[in-house]
Chain A
């Protein structure tokens, strides 16, 4: 089933972290397996924020030497960052297996990202100037508390509560997906994609990497591919309605935009609230009501509808 939510404040920063947490808490019944947030703070030019995981949550329960392995992987990641002349300005670890680095780097971030992901068990969850991508098993409160999300200030964000239907319950199959290697682009999706393998083979032939067998990852890769070919976010969303088969409603966020697309059958829900200073959307109205208790007007986008909003 899955629940998706998005929020964009026009022209100002707000408590996006706590607002997204409230919205996804209200959507918990749509998917209790994992929760993820992609939130966008004020862009800090020059510095990159990199979030990565070096192991799965379930790995932590297996093997006496798991902590040693993780330490070795982290050391290897830092060594490879140094090899790419990236200097680490700050380092946090919310959980033993998930790291957050603030780095200064002025080379090719894609080459660096590929080199780091070559370390065993390592996946870069996000890389960008303003994107912070957090995902883990558990509900929105658990994830927000363990990653300290509630105090986060930003302009916009998207989030997802997952009910696993197409792949396993683990972090690699959790949403949002970062559109590797595009800095600051993330995707959340509710639905099933039926031409997943066909499209995945096409994308793999073009050199894109897939880290999971979750069909939603395709949308992130597909968006990245379109952006690489010079398409705008709007073009990419429009093309996806023709080229992606199945039932889907998905949200894409970039460093200053938020977009939505709905398939031709309009089979997956989305409720939309628009005002001059903010736009909120979610699979169910109950999520929007969690942050806007007053009486508001909301609408359902129709089939084949795409929308893009600027922050």
Chain B
């Protein structure tokens, strides 16, 4: 942390302090990129922990975050508009201070609401297509219809609640926040998941949790074949049947802490099963395939 403040002093400002759009008026693109931590050459080999400290996460404000008021509500009709225009309109409304935006008539439109790095209540009255609300950091999204492939891909924080079904690669490479689908989802749910929580009220398809690295996934229904294949770490909870386990995914004991966490999360989203959470199966990585403790595990050769 010390080197951080030394560097910040050299640069003339504190990158963690956060700035509003008004404050960054007049700064260059390069300054703003550095504020976001995108100018990696300035980091001088320091650990990423500085930027992703646990206590800091909640207070992180992007340098050009708009000051929005959740009580200021507006509607945005997507009818006949291209996706880029809808996303630009959302940004313009946030700039005007609208904190609650209701999208009307999305009709399966792709890439709606991507890249929102701000606090916002986004309500989608209908279904959206591929890559919906991907790359978001902060907003609370409620989708009253269905989502296509790769919903919430790479999301960093916030909550996304989907009332109907979702397509494949739900929450791929997700890093934080809660991604919840009340219905069933397609295949490869949470592929490459790096954090956060995925909750599915129904079933999931094949290869769910493939190469999962961190975070938690809760499937209240059944899971398809190759569940948790090649997972590095993280935890998967399945309420129904597991068709089969992938390479190196093994069942583990469901502890009281797990049950308490499951109860809290499922109750929060109204998905708590009547029979409780005792029947859930917990799946973790066997760490035979990849083991961070040993550089070249002998077991690896045996498994492969």
- The residues of A with any CB-CB pair to B shorter than 8 Å are 264-266, 269, 271, 284-290, 293, 295, 297-300, 302-303
Complex CA distance for A293 and B104, rounded to whole angstroms = 12
- Top 5 closest pairs, chain A to chain B, by CB: A286-B108, A285-B108, A300-B186, A266-B187, A289-B107
Check A265–B168 contact: CB distance below 8 A: no
B205 contacts A302, C-beta separation under 8 Å? yes
With A284-B108, A286-B108 as contacts: A266 and B127 at CB distance below 8 Å? no
User: Whose C-beta in chain A lies nearest to the C-beta of B105?
Assistant: A293
Which residues in A have their C-beta under 8 angstroms from that of B144? 295
Verify B109–A300 contact, CB threshold 8 A. Answer: no
Residue of A298, A300, A303 touching B127 (CB-CB under 8 A): A298
Q: CA–CA, A287 to B186, complex, Å?
A: 18
**Nearest A-chain residue to B79, judged by Cβ:** A293
For chain B residues 163-209, which have a beta carbon within 8 Å of chain A?
164-165, 167-168, 184-188, 205-207
Contacts of B205 in A (CB 8 A): 266, 300, 302-303
Contacts of A303 in B (CB 8 A): 187, 205-206, 224-225
Which residues of B are at the interface with A, using a C-beta cutoff of 8 A?
Answer: 105, 107-110, 126-127, 129-130, 144-146, 148-149, 164-165, 167-168, 184-188, 205-207, 224-225
Q: B184 — which chain A residues lie within 8 A by C-beta?
A: 299
Contact B206 A271 (CB under 8 A): no
Residues of chain B with a CB closer than 8 A to A284's CB? 108, 110, 129-130, 148
Cβ contacts A to B, 29 pairs, < 8 Å: A265-B206, A266-B205, A269-B149, A269-B167, A271-B148, A271-B167, A284-B110, A284-B129, A284-B130, A285-B108, A285-B148, A286-B108, A289-B108, A293-B105, A293-B107, A295-B127, A295-B144, A295-B145, A297-B165, A298-B127, A299-B165, A299-B184, A300-B165, A300-B168, A300-B187, A300-B205, A302-B205, A303-B206, A303-B225
Residues in A with CB closer than 8 Å to B225 are: 303
Q: CA–CA, A273 to B173, complex, Å?
A: 28
19 more CB-based (< 8 A) A-B contacts, given A269-B149, A295-B144, A302-B205: A266-B168, A266-B186, A266-B205, A266-B206, A271-B167, A284-B108, A284-B129, A284-B130, A284-B148, A286-B129, A289-B107, A290-B107, A295-B127, A295-B145, A298-B164, A300-B165, A302-B187, A303-B187, A303-B205
Residues of B within 8 A of A300 (CB): 165, 167-168, 185-187, 205
User: Which chain A residues border B145 with CB–CB below 8 Å?
Assistant: 295
Docked pose: A107 CA to B98 CA in angstroms = 73
CA distance A157 to B105 in the complex (A): 27
Q: Is the CB of A286 within 8 A of B167?
A: no
Q: Which residue of A lies closest to B205 (CB)?
A: A302
Chain B residues closer than 8 Å to A286, beta-carbon distance: 107-110, 129
Q: Assuming A266-B205, A293-B107, is B165 touching A298 (CB within 8 A)?
A: yes
B109 cross-chain contacts in A, Cβ below 8 A = 286
Q: Are B108 and A302 in contact (CB under 8 A)?
A: no
Of B107, B149, B165, most buried by chain A (CB within 10 Å of CB) is B107
Contacts of A293 in B (CB 8 A): 105, 107
CA distance A290 to B205 in the complex (A): 27
Cα(A277)–Cα(B211), bound, Å: 42
Residues A302 and B186 in contact in the complex (CB < 8 Å), given A266-B168, A266-B205, A285-B146: yes
- Shortest C-beta distance, B153 to chain A (Å), equals 15
A266 proximity list for chain B (CB < 8 A)? 168, 186-188, 205-207
- B residues less than 8 Å from A287 (CB atoms): 108
A289 to B107, CA, bound (A): 6
Nearest Cβ on chain B to A300's Cβ, whole angstroms? 4
Chain B nearest CB, measured from A289 CB (Å):
4
Q: Which residues of B contact A265 (CB under 8 A)?
A: 187, 206-207
Contacts of A269 in B (CB 8 A): 148-149, 167-168
Q: Complex Cα distance A299/B185, Å?
A: 8
Given A266-B187, A285-B146, A293-B107: A302 touches B126 (CB 8 Å cut-off): no
> In the bound complex, how far is the Cα of B207 from the Cα of A166, in angstroms?
27
Cβ contacts under 8 Å, A285 to chain B: 108, 127, 129, 146, 148
Assembled-state Cα–Cα distance A302/B205 (Å):
6
Contacts of B165 in A (CB 8 A): 297-300
Smallest CB-CB separation from B184: which chain A residue?
A299
User: Which A residues are in CB contact (< 8 Å) with B129?
Assistant: 284-286
Bound: A302/B184 CA distance, A:
11
List the B side residues contacting A298 at CB < 8 Å: 127, 146, 164-165
Q: How many angstroms from the CA of A263 to the CA of B206 in the assembled complex?
A: 11
**A290: chain B residues within 8 A (beta carbon):** 107
> Could you tell me the distance in whole angstroms from the C-beta of B260 to the nearest C-beta in chain A?
32
- A81 to B145 Cα, complex, angstroms: 54
Residues of A within 8 A of B107 (CB): 286, 289-290, 293
Q: Which residue of B lies closest to A302 (CB)?
A: B205
Residues of A near B224 (CB, < 8 A) are 302-303
Whole-angstrom CA separation of A193 from B82 in the bound complex: 34
Least CB distance from A26 to B in Å reads 8
* Residues of chain A within 8 A of B105, CB atoms compared: 293
Most B Cβ at <10 Å: residue of A285, A287, A297, A303: A285
Residues of B within 8 A of A297 (CB): 146, 164-165
Residues of A within 8 A of B126 (CB): 295
- Is the pair A289, B127 in contact by a Cβ cutoff of 8 Å? yes
Shortest Cβ distance from B71 into chain A, in angstroms?
27
Residue of A nearest to B147 (CB): A285
A302 & B148 in contact (Cβ 8 Å cutoff): no
A30 to B184, CA, bound (A): 25
Q: How far is the CA of A297 from the CA of B205 in the complex (A)?
A: 18
Q: CB-CB < 8 A to B108: which residues of A? A: 284-289
